[in-house]
Structure 1
Amino acid sequence: MRLLFLAPFAPRRDGTHGGSRAIAELLVRLTERHKVALLHLRGPKEASADAALLERCDTVREFARTTPGTLGRFGRRVRAAGALARGTPAEITGSANEEFSVAVRDVAHRWRPDVVQLEYHLMGTYLPALADYPAPRVLRQLEPGAATARDRAAHRSGLARLAGALEERAWERFERKVMAQVRVVVALTDRDVASLKPLAGGTPIEVIPLGVSPPPRAFNAAGEGAELLFVGNFAHPPNIESVERLIRGIFPRVRAQCSDAVLRIVGVNPPAHWQGREAAGVLVTGSVPDVGPFLDRAAVVLAPLSIGGGMRVKVMEALAGGKAVVATPLALEGLKVEDGDQVRIGRTDEELAQATLELLQHPDRRAAMGRRARTWAIAELGWERPVAAFERLYESLLPNRPDTSAQPSAEGSGRC
């Protein structure tokens, strides 16, 4: 089978955010049984696609993506306001690239894919380039836009809340239009299906969760001392909201009863106002080449998410690595875990703080929970089932698929 993937960033198994890692893991596995071509956008500071994809895919081509970082603050605000005035999400305005559209059309007609898969709703911008190509389109919604905008608006007030409501309506309009142009939508969780269904019209929605690759060696299950860890890419608003919640409401409660506790924040693009809080026990590490040593040292991994959709790759990776995790139900969406068995679950700041304190005070309990989490994750979160589900989906879209083995390949791997 010949599969063409369109992605809004470079897929990498060591990517700085979960979407990059999830796409890379899926593609690497699909290349074992199918021919795969990848066209992706890339920001100016992002690394290129994973070396395994450059080696295994028939073609990999990258194109520049306009990012908010290339504009000043005033420019970003003007662009966002203009986009909302037109009923378009600001994020969509920043992703367009005409050269990418030309390449999509060119690769589709020369390489002749059996299926075209769009990773994220953003790539719906390029569906017109496929207007005269008959292959079925699959849209994988890794994080629904309208639902996330609605969650964000609910946490705002005043003019910011009004802007959030406009953003939600813009996403509804965009996602409704995109989903009408594909054969099937793939969501990660039942919660995502519920948010997408009112916008999908007659387009069917399938649930295929993410997988995870457990590290070959478990991390130190008990960790060291009383270090708490949050890992995330802070270009992603739900991660910023989570850390704000930690700093304001959860960690002070923990610190009041455990004076040697520290909160370490790891990830790219941390806001400047988080710096300078060392006296309060908050350590902002920023971007690191490998998060493994921080997971190994952490006593507890925290995930107090309250907005957003999809599944949390870094939570899955922490569980698979054998760490004690304290999280909200939203952070565990799509994972069939039980409070007190593989994880501790809390909804309020007080519940999350108390669960964290209990684990800090009992190293044996958090070590045992980490070991149970790893055993469960290895059994339940492998990539075998998601990959098989995608293959069944592709086959269902091609009941009379002709033999394409003699079709010409694209002209090698390259970048534009």
Structure 2
Amino acid sequence: MREYQILRRLADRADVLLRVATQFLDTDAAGAEHMAGLGIDVAVYPTAGEPAPGVPARVWRQRSPGLRADVETMLRSGVIDLVHVEGYYMTQHLPPQRTVPLVLTEENVEYLLDRRWQEVHGPEPTGARWQDTQALERNAWHGATVCTAVSADDANHMAEASPGLDVRLTPNGADHLGPVLAERRPRTVPDDERPTVGFIGNYSYPPSRDAAHELLDQVWPRVHALVPRARLLLAGAALTPALRRSAEEQAGVELLGEVPDVATVLDRVDVFAAPLRVGGGVKVKVLEAAVRGCPIVTTPVGAQGLDEDLRAAMTVTDNHEEAAESMAALLDDSAHRARVSKELLLAAAALPTWDAAADRLWAVWGEAIATGEER
């Protein structure tokens, strides 16, 4: 989503050659057709990596010989002025020697994410440790002309962890669901007026899948005991059999699956739950709930990367009982929900737009090119 929102705004300022490595070739090939319609030269390559001892899964899963060969050909052609890479693990497709500047954007500091994941779930099956990710990631940072991060928290961490590193903040926008609401619109529920909790995620992404299990297994039973008439809507793509089983075992849970419009789901719920245990950067799902004025109950991980005013307008706790009690209080009191919603919307009004995000990245590209010319 980030790449689409930014590139569609920059495609008329530069000739963009977009190259993608994917495990989901059919799905991403369809998306590539849409990007091509914006005037972007796009090619999608399948990944072909295999697990290897000590190699982080994020690295071997993104390995694509076809993509690497294409990138090398483009760089030899001399038509490339700058390479932009999203995620340190994609730098493996660049040749060791290159003559153009490199901008590396980190949507998460991945070794912090891996460290937290291993605290919760243990090491990867290949034996890769978070320290292995740390070594590879920091090496990629120092091979870049400029590094950027999408959150101030991550940018500050990168600068402190690697003194001398040129790090810039290039945040995500938050207006892809439309402008921030002046006030929350009346909730629309097609069948009844049951108080409703919602969660949205792509369940192929392990932190989102983990959060959904945490909600279903630990938080929702407590909420339902406090508010028996309440229901939980679980939306998003790639629902796993295990998640379906967990949902079927709980009372009051409705599986929506993949939805065409996130805003319509958020407008159906009274409380947005985001019990994330693992993550980094800024959580798009949390931003989306905020700009719709939907009261949010999340964890410290879910609130990462947000400014103080926005965090203050949410309930932030990693205690299951506190989370459930906060949700129940919101579900039972419409006046309380309205006050929280107003505070959220006031704070969300300060979030950047995607136009501003694209302008920020465009400026970084220009500075990187100028730095390369000076060298």
Question: How would you bin the TM-score normalised by the shorter chain?
Answer: 0.7 to 0.9
Quote the Cα distance in structure 2 between the aligned partners of 1:24 and 1:319. 21
* Other-structure match for 2:295: 324
* Other-structure match for 1:145: 110
* Other-structure match for 1:412: none
* Other-structure match for 2:35: 53
* Other-structure match for 1:264: 233
Tell me by how many angstroms 1:136 deviates: 0.7
* Other-structure match for 1:387: 358
1:354 corresponds to which of 314, 321, 325:
325
* Other-structure match for 1:99: 66
2:139 corresponds to which of 159, 162, 177:
177
* Other-structure match for 1:13: none
Distance of aligned partners of 1:249 and 1:26 in 2 relative to their CA distance in 1, 3 Å threshold: same
Tell me by how many angstroms 1:249 deviates: 2.2
Equivalent pair of 1:211/1:383 in contact (CA under 8 Å): yes
* Other-structure match for 1:213: 175
Quote the Cα distance in structure 1 between the aligned partners of 2:4 and 2:26. 18
Equivalent pair of 1:101/1:126 in contact (CA under 8 Å): yes
Equivalent pair of 1:323/1:367 in contact (CA under 8 Å): no
SS in structure 1 at match of 2:94: helix
1:63 paired with 2:33, answer no
* Other-structure match for 2:19: 39
Of 163-172 and 315-324, the range deviating more from structure 2: 163-172
Tell me by how many angstroms 1:114 deviates: 2.3
Amino acid of the residue matched to residue 208 of structure 2? Answer: N
1:314 corresponds to which of 285, 305, 315:
285
Distance of aligned partners of 1:223 and 1:328 in 2 relative to their CA distance in 1, 3 Å threshold: farther
Quote the Cα distance in structure 2 between the aligned partners of 1:184 and 1:281. 49
Amino acid of the residue matched to residue 44 of structure 1? Answer: L
Q: How large is the Cα RMSD of the aligned pairs? A: 2.8
Distance of aligned partners of 1:62 and 1:89 in 2 relative to their CA distance in 1, 3 Å threshold: same
Tell me by how many angstroms 1:150 deviates: 0.5
Tell me by how many angstroms 1:367 deviates: 3.5
Equivalent pair of 1:153/1:164 in contact (CA under 8 Å): no
Equivalent pair of 1:223/1:299 in contact (CA under 8 Å): no
- What TM-score does the superposition give when structure 1 sets the normalisation length? 0.78
Quote the Cα distance in structure 2 between the aligned partners of 1:64 and 1:164. 22
* Other-structure match for 2:223: 254
Quote the Cα distance in structure 1 between the aligned partners of 2:311 and 2:362. 35
Distance of aligned partners of 1:234 and 1:195 in 2 relative to their CA distance in 1, 3 Å threshold: farther
* Other-structure match for 1:399: 370
Tell me by how many angstroms 1:368 deviates: 4.3
Equivalent pair of 2:21/2:63 in contact (CA under 8 Å): no
Tell me by how many angstroms 1:57 deviates: 3.5
SS in structure 1 at match of 2:293: coil
Tell me by how many angstroms 1:170 deviates: 2.2
SS in structure 1 at match of 2:174: coil
Tell me by how many angstroms 1:165 deviates: 7.3
* Other-structure match for 1:286: 257
Provide the identity percentage.
23
Amino acid of the residue matched to residue 126 of structure 1? Answer: H
Quote the Cα distance in structure 2 between the aligned partners of 1:341 and 1:94. 38
Distance of aligned partners of 1:358 and 1:32 in 2 relative to their CA distance in 1, 3 Å threshold: farther
SS in structure 2 at match of 1:62: strand
Distance of aligned partners of 1:97 and 1:401 in 2 relative to their CA distance in 1, 3 Å threshold: closer
Q: Which runs of 5+ in 2 are unaligned?
A: none
Tell me by how many angstroms 1:161 deviates: 4.5
Amino acid of the residue matched to residue 116 of structure 1? Answer: V
Quote the Cα distance in structure 2 between the aligned partners of 1:49 and 1:176. 31
Tell me by how many angstroms 1:378 deviates: 4.0
Quote the Cα distance in structure 2 between the aligned partners of 1:321 and 1:339. 13
* Other-structure match for 2:93: 126
Equivalent pair of 1:234/1:270 in contact (CA under 8 Å): yes
